[in-house]
Structure 1
Amino acid sequence: MVSTPKAPKAPDPTQTAAAQTATNVDTAIANAGLSHTNQYTPDGSLEYKISGHTTMTDQNGKTYQLPTYSAYQTYSPENQAIYDQTQQTQLGLSKLANDQTQKVSGILGTNVDLSAGNVDKYVNDHWQSGFNNPWDRDQASLDQSLADKGISMGSAAYDNAMRDFSTRKQAASDQYLGDMYSNAQNSILTERNQPLNEISALMSGSQVNQPNYVNSPTTQLPTVDQAGLINENYNQQMAGYNQQVSQKNAAMGGLFGLGGSLLGGWAMSDRRLKRNIHQIGATASGLPVYEYEYAWGGGRQVGFMADEVAAIAPHAVAEGPGGFMMVSYAGVL
Structure 2
Amino acid sequence: MSTVTAMVHTPSAPDPTKTAQAQAEYNQNTAVTQQLLNMTNQVTPYGTLTYNQTGNSTFTGADGKTYTVPQFTQTTTLNPEQQSTLNQTQSAANNIAQTANSLSSSGLSSLGQAVDTSGAPALQTSLGSGYSSSPGNSYSTSLGSGYTTSLGSNYNTSFGGDVSQAYDDAKNAVMNQLTPTLDRNSEATRAQEIASGIRPGSAAYTANEQSIGDNYTRAANQATETAQSVQNQLFNQQQQQAAYTDSALLNQAQFGNQSALDQFNAQNNASLTGQQFTNSALLNNANFNNSANSQWLQNYYTQRDQPLNELSALLSGSQVSNATTGASSTPQTSVGGVDYTGLVNNEYQDQLQNSNSMLSGISGIVGGLGSAALTKYSDRRLKTGVQLLKRFANGLGLYSYRYKSAPDQAETGFMADEVERVCSAAVSRDRHGFAMVDYDRVLREAF
Report the TM-score range of the alignment, normalised by the length of the smaller protein.
0.3 to 0.5
- Greater strand share, structure number: 1
Under a length normalisation based on structure 1, what TM-score does the superposition of the two structures give?
0.47
Under a length normalisation based on structure 2, what TM-score does the superposition of the two structures give?
0.36
More relative contact order, 1 or 2 (CA 8 Å, 6+ apart) = 2
